[in-house]
């Protein structure tokens, strides 16, 4: 059974709010939206359709979870961005920040690649789980320590297509 935690409508209005803020903040900047695959693909797709300024889009993929629901804490890049990062104002787009290890690693990596600026947009955050302090410039919702699925997020590969965010209940 799946319990709905955040509705489609709540997601939609929050994404719109974030897109408006990003459009204001990045006016006159060379914005590169960098979606973190796979979980952020829907958030990223909805976000860019509401950003009202020129930007480029690329994706990066990292691994730390495998099919486990608990982070291994070790992050490796599986798919590098195709577009140059140098001198770009990068907005990292994440589905959820849990321990913070992934975003911390990505910020350091992108900085080494010569990004001019790096900011983080994350639809969800679990503050109680944080191991590394990471900045979240654009945040959708804080949630409790629950494993969530839907709107791009999976459990062993399933449920990414759910239009809402839910909690899987084993019963």
Residues that bind ligand IMP (CB under 6 A): 36, 39, 64-65, 71, 94-102, 147-148, 153
Q: Is 109 helix (H, G, I), strand (E, B) or coil?
A: helix
Q: Is 98 in the site for Mg ion (CB under 5 A)?
A: no
Residue span 142-161 as binding mask against Mg ion, x where in contact by CB under 5 A, dash where not = --------------------
Q: Are 143 and 5 in contact (CB under 8 A)?
A: yes
Distances (CA, A) of 139 to 66, 72, 156: 25, 24, 25
Q: Output 30 or 168, the one with its CB closest to ligand IMP.
A: 168
Closest by alpha carbon to 125, among 91, 157, 102, 109? 102
Could you give the count of Cα atoms lying within 13 Å of 143 in the half-sphere of its Cβ? 21
Element spanning 10, H or E:
helix 8-25
Asked if 39 interacts with Mg ion (CB under 5 A), we say yes
Q: Which does 123 bind (CB under 5 to 8 A by kind): ligand IMP, Mg ion, none?
A: none
Residues catalogued as catalytic = 98
Closest separation between CB of residue 19 and ligand IMP, Å?
A: 20
Residue among 53 and 141 whose Cβ is closer to Mg ion: 141
């Amino acid at each position: 059974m799946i319990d709905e935690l955040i509705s489609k409508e709540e997601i939609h209005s929050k994404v719109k709010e974030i897109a408006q803020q990003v459009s204001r903040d990045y006016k006159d900047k060379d914005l590169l939206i960098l979606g973190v695959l796979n979980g952020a693909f829907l958030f990223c797709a909805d976000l860019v359709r509401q950003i009202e300024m020129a930007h480029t889009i690329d994706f990066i993929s990292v691994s730390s979870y495998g099919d486990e629901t608990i982070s291994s804490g070790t992050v490796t890049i599986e798919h590098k961005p195709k577009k140059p990062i140098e001198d770009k104002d990068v907005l990292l787009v994440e589905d959820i920040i849990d321990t913070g290890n992934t975003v911390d690693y990505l910020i350091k990596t992108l900085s080494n690649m010569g990004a001019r600026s790096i900011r983080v947009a994350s639809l969800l955050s679990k503050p109680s789980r944080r191991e590394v302090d990471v900045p979240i410039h654009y945040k959708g919702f804080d949630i409790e320590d629950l494993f969530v699925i839907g709107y791009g997020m999976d459990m062993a590969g399933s449920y990414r297509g759910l239009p809402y965010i839910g909690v899987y209940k084993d019963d």
